[in-house]
């Protein structure tokens, strides 16, 4: 059952002219994520965003290419580096930015923050901030799809550092054992915080781990949105029709530090390495492709970028001006019946 990237024909060559609007939209989404993240970084530096803030710059093609292959009622779970996925799934930049600002209009009412973006109406079931712990959740969502005999799939995004974690093994084993429609997307950006893959994993090719569970797998170039999308379409097809899971090892790179407190290149990677990787900027690659294929020209891309910068600026203004949650929100949403009031064990002092 296992497949390798080498064995698969990659979708080189012509783009489908019938999909031109879709291709342009992928660029729009990637640019939106890039500009949004730049703005979020700026807001963080100004103290408008608190806590931890993990930017997605450099990995945009992964979220955009893969999420474009999903349907409206599929389930998505992510790690804490999930601003890009939230935007690509269609949560508005205003409500994502407002969430980063901790405002009531945020997509999690200001109670989740950067690491816990949710929009249940879009099947976007969270950023989760314990490495690897959300992987079994996705397996559970895939179990629910099987249980209800729907054609839904459950997609889970996590970094390569999560694959050394027990939750990963347990979740993938059960998904394969029970033939669940799950897609596990390992965004291999080479570093778990400051620890390089080869300093943490005995196996370099993460996709090979799928063979432990006789699970379909592919290695995917995550800087190329078209390749990402094609691999995801195959995985979705397997999940929907064959009802089996897939592990995608997506090779990508984060251009920024692990979080806002980490410089772009710290002690764990060199400036040269980062600059080398930046030559495969997913947005530049896709822009060039669209120009080469005659689907957009440079002026159109510039105009698009301007429009997006304005959109992000509006999101920033919206977040800035949005009110904080009411004080009563402190005690809401702990339990189903909570409408506010004291916590059950609070002393009230």
Partner 1 sequence: MAVVTYRDALNQALREEMQRDPDVFLMGEEVGVYQGAYKVSRGLLDEFGPLRVVDTPITELGFAGVGVGAAMVGLRPVIEFMTWNFALLAIDQLVNSAAKMRYMSGGQVGVPAVFRGPGGAALQLAAQHSQAFESYYAHVPGLKVVMPATPADAKGLLKSAIRSDDPIVFIEGEMLYNTKGEIPEGEHVVPLGRADVKRSGGDVTIVCHSKTVSIALKAAEELADEGVEAEVVDLRTIRPLDAETVLSSVARTHRCVVAEEGWPFAGVGAQVVDTIQREIFDDLDAPVLRVTGADVPMPYNKHLERAAKVDSAKIVSAANQVLYRGRDA
Binding site for partner 1 (CB under 8 A): 75, 77, 106-112, 116, 118-120, 125-126, 128, 130, 133-144, 146-147, 154, 166-167, 169-171, 173-174, 177-178, 332-337, 343-345, 347
Q: Would you say 109 or 209 has its CB closer to partner 1?
A: 109
Measuring CA to CA, which residue among 7, 161, 111, 90 is closest to residue 338? 111
Q: Would you say 58 or 126 has its CB closer to partner 1?
A: 126
- Which tokens hold the place of 81? 């580096």
SS3 81: coil
Q: Would you say 144 or 264 has its CB closer to partner 1?
A: 144
Whether residue 138 contacts residue 171, with contact meaning beta carbons closer than 8 Å, is answered with: yes
C-alpha 309/C-alpha 62 separation (Å) is: 21
Q: Given the structure tokens 């939750």, which residue do they identify?
A: 167
What is the smallest separation between the CB atom of 332 and partner 1, expressed in angstroms? Answer: 7
Whether residue 189 contacts residue 62, with contact meaning beta carbons closer than 8 Å, is answered with: no
Q: Which helix (H) or strand (E) holds 126?
A: strand 124-127
Q: Would you say 17 or 147 has its CB closer to partner 1?
A: 147
C-alpha 292/C-alpha 313 separation (Å) is: 30
Beta bridge partners, 220, equal: 250
How many residues comprise the chain? Answer: 349
- Which tokens hold the place of 34? 């890039």
Where on the phi/psi map is residue 149: left (φ > 0), alpha (ψ -120 to 50), or beta? left
What is the smallest separation between the CB atom of 89 and partner 1, expressed in angstroms? Answer: 14
Q: Would you say 121 or 270 has its CB closer to partner 1?
A: 121
What is the smallest separation between the CB atom of 253 and partner 1, expressed in angstroms? Answer: 28
What is the smallest separation between the CB atom of 127 and partner 1, expressed in angstroms? Answer: 9
Q: Would you say 65 or 102 has its CB closer to partner 1?
A: 102
Q: Would you say 15 or 104 has its CB closer to partner 1?
A: 104
Whether residue 37 contacts residue 55, with contact meaning beta carbons closer than 8 Å, is answered with: yes
Measuring CA to CA, which residue among 195, 7, 157, 160 is closest to residue 77? 157
Q: Would you say 43 or 142 has its CB closer to partner 1?
A: 142
Q: Given the structure tokens 């410089």, which residue do they identify?
A: 263
CA pseudo-torsion sign 312, 117, 137, 256: positive
What is the smallest separation between the CB atom of 119 and partner 1, expressed in angstroms? Answer: 7
What is the smallest separation between the CB atom of 140 and partner 1, expressed in angstroms? Answer: 2
Whether residue 36 contacts residue 96, with contact meaning beta carbons closer than 8 Å, is answered with: yes
What is the smallest separation between the CB atom of 337 and partner 1, expressed in angstroms? Answer: 8
What is the smallest separation between the CB atom of 182 and partner 1, expressed in angstroms? Answer: 10
């Amino acid at each position: 059952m296992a497949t390798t990237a080498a064995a698969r024909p990659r979708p080189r060559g012509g783009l489908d002219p019938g999909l031109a609007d879709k291709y342009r939209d992928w660029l729009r989404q990637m640019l939106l994520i890039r500009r949004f993240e730049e703005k979020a970084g700026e807001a963080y530096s100004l103290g408008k965003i608190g806590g931890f803030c993990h930017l997605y710059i450099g990995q945009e093609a992964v979220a955009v290419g893969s999420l474009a292959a999903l349907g409206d009622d599929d389930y998505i779970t992510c790690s804490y580096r999930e601003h890009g996925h939230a935007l690509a799934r269609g949560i508005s930049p205003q409500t994502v930015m407002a969430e980063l600002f901790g405002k009531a209009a945020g997509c999690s009412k200001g109670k989740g923050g950067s690491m816990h973006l949710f929009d249940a109406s879009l099947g976007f079931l969270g950023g989760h901030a314990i490495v690897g712990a959300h992987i079994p959740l996705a397996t559970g969502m895939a179990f629910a799809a099987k249980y209800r005999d729907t054609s839904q799939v459950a997609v889970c995004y996590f970094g390569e550092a999560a694959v050394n974690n027990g939750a990963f093994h347990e979740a993938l084993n059960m998904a394969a054992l029970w033939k669940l429609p799950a897609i596990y997307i390992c965004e291999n950006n080479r570093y778990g915080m400051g620890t390089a893959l080869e300093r943490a994993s005995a196996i370099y090719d993460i996709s090979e781990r799928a063979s432990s569970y006789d699970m379909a797998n592919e290695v995917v170039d995550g800087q190329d949105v078209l390749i990402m999308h094609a691999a995801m379409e195959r995985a979705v097809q397997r999940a929907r029709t064959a009802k089996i899971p897939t592990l995608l090892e997506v090779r990508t790179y984060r251009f920024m530090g692990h979080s806002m407190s980490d410089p772009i290149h710290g002690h764990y990677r060199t400036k040269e390495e980062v600059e080398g990787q930046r030559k495969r900027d997913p947005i530049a690659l896709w822009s060039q492709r669209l120009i080469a294929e005659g689907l957009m020209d440079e002026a159109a891309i510039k105009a698009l970028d301007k429009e997006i910068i304005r959109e992000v600026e509006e999101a920033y203004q919206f977040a800035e001006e949005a009110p904080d949650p009411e004080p009563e929100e402190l005690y809401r949403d702990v339990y189903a019946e909570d409408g506010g009031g004291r916590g059950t064990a609070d002393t009230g002092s």
